[in-house]
Amino acid sequence: MRETLVLNASFEPLATVTLRRAVVLVLQGKAVVEHAHPGLRIRATAVELPVPLVIRLCRYVRVPFRRQAPWSRRGVLVRDRNRCAYCGRRATTVDHLVPRSHGGADSWLNTVAACAEDNHRKADRTPEQAGMKLLSEPFVPTPADAMLLALGGGAAEAELPQWLSLSV
């Protein structure tokens, strides 16, 4: 998939995102196209756009560039696309793998999104102790994820409008 460079409002490079994500940021009015692919257009329902190579955010966001994104509960839910790490259903809570009562940290690698049911079932135990399997391992978000979080986005790639799986 083609990648698009994202500049901060101050023109400082922030991250690269997928073309799909770049188009959505432009359509949402959160970014403007700085450089486009010569001659290529994107056609989607009632919209036509140049294929962006570089976009620039309309509003300055404070993002730790190439550093770790600061941990937050909302960030964990966004990272995990609101899917429970244990059963894959919709998650509304954040579970600490090593419970906080046992010294578990508020960190990207120690937390996963979880549905209230599984969070309650796991209780004050590690997944091993509770006999619960993780569907995927927690990870530290990339600079692009951090930027999208700072933008107040959060719609995961999979939740973007389908018409953007587009004709370039």
**In whole angstroms, how close is the CB of 91 to Zn ion at the nearest point?**
7
Instruction: Tell me the C-alpha to C-alpha distance, in Å, between residue 63 and each of 11, 45, 74, 88, 146.
Output: 13, 33, 16, 29, 7
Asked if residue 95 binds Zn ion (CB under 5 A), the reply is no
Asked if residue 87 binds Zn ion (CB under 5 A), the reply is yes
Buried b (16+ CB within 10 A) or exposed e, 115-139: beebbeebeeeebeeeebeeeeebe
Asked if residue 85 binds Zn ion (CB under 5 A), the reply is no
**In whole angstroms, how close is the CB of 110 to Zn ion at the nearest point?**
18
Binding residue for Zn ion (CB under 5 A) from 31, 76, 94, 115? Answer: 115
Compare residues 16 and 82 and give the one whose CB is closer to Zn ion.
Answer: 82
Asked if residue 26 binds Zn ion (CB under 5 A), the reply is no
Distance CA 157, CA 22 (A): 11
47: CB partners within 8 A, 6+ apart:
27
Compare residues 8 and 119 and give the one whose CB is closer to Zn ion.
Answer: 119
At 83, list the tokens.
């899917």
**In whole angstroms, how close is the CB of 102 to Zn ion at the nearest point?**
21
Asked if residue 31 binds Zn ion (CB under 5 A), the reply is no
Q: What is the DSSP letter of 11?
A: S
State the number of binding residues for Zn ion (CB under 5 A): 5
Chain residues binding Zn ion by CB under 5 A are 84, 86-87, 115, 118
